[in-house]
A = this chain, B = another copy of it.
Amino acid sequence: MENNVFLIATHNMKKRDELYRILSPLGIDVKTAEQAGIEISDVDETGETFYENAFLKANSGCLESGMPCVADDSGLAVDYLVGAPGVFSARFAGEHGNDAKNNQKLLKILSDVPVEERTAKFVSVVCCVFPNGDVISARGECKGYIGFEPKGDGGFGYDPIFMVGDKSFAELSGEEKDALSHRGNALRQIAEKLKDYMSL
């Protein structure tokens, strides 16, 4: 069938690298908009859930390109904050915030919260929309806790303060992170589903 090249709908370069790094070796041929030689619009992430936002992005990319399109929405759910910042993870410190400010705000809120109450999880929902309207999605989670200070230089977002064992996500190599991470988990699931779908 013709559905063998997938567009990746994200403007976050580091996220795009993760999607590419995990999907490519699984035989899923993925292209960024630049690689496909097209332009796709920014999508307002107005959804109340990760699924809604992932669908909005994948659907818009599919409609604009005519290609099957895969998108991810992900975030950090802190138990002490009953799931916040969640879908607002990137905007936690406000519209003019950034990764460092988001991390600082969260560390401040948790400043005297003991380690056993600092549990959190990263969540990723990956969604693929096909030109015929079919939708395939998968959800991955990674449990950890919020550290007391940023550690490591890798990754992005909350990686420097998200701890699994005694290491932060920013201290892991790309391969170590893919093996553990919410996004790696969701992407491996969707790769399996896509292979089934494409062999139908």
User: Chain A interface (Cβ within 8 Å of chain B)?
Assistant: 48-49, 81-86, 88, 91-92, 109
Give CA–CA (A92, B83) in the complex, Å. Answer: 10
| Contact among B48, B82, B83 with A49 in the assembled complex (CB-CB below 8 Å) | B48
- Contact partners of A82 in chain B: CB under 8 A: 84-86, 88, 91-92
Q: How many copies does the complex hold?
A: 2
Among A82, A83, A85, A86, chain B packs the most CB atoms within 10 A around the CB of A82
- Minimum CB–CB distance from A41 to chain B (whole Å) comes to 24
- Contact partners of A81 in chain B: CB under 8 A: 81, 84-85
Give CA–CA (A16, B82) in the complex, Å. Answer: 26
Mind listing 19 A-B residue pairs with CB under 8 Å? A48-B48, A48-B49, A49-B49, A81-B81, A81-B84, A81-B85, A82-B84, A82-B85, A82-B86, A82-B88, A82-B91, A82-B92, A83-B84, A83-B86, A83-B88, A84-B84, A84-B85, A84-B86, A109-B109
Name which residue of chain B comes closest to A89, CB basis: B82
- Contact partners of A91 in chain B: CB under 8 A: 82
Give CA–CA (A88, B91) in the complex, Å. Answer: 20
- Minimum CB–CB distance from A151 to chain B (whole Å) comes to 24
- Contact partners of A84 in chain B: CB under 8 A: 81-86
- Minimum CB–CB distance from A2 to chain B (whole Å) comes to 35
Name which residue of chain B comes closest to A105, CB basis: B80
Name which residue of chain B comes closest to A92, CB basis: B82
Give CA–CA (A85, B83) in the complex, Å. Answer: 8
- Minimum CB–CB distance from A187 to chain B (whole Å) comes to 22
Q: A48-B48, A82-B92, A83-B84 are in contact. List 16 more A-B contacts (CB 8 A).
A: A48-B49, A49-B49, A81-B81, A81-B84, A81-B85, A82-B84, A82-B85, A82-B86, A82-B88, A82-B91, A83-B86, A83-B88, A84-B84, A84-B85, A84-B86, A109-B109
Give CA–CA (A5, B82) in the complex, Å. Answer: 37
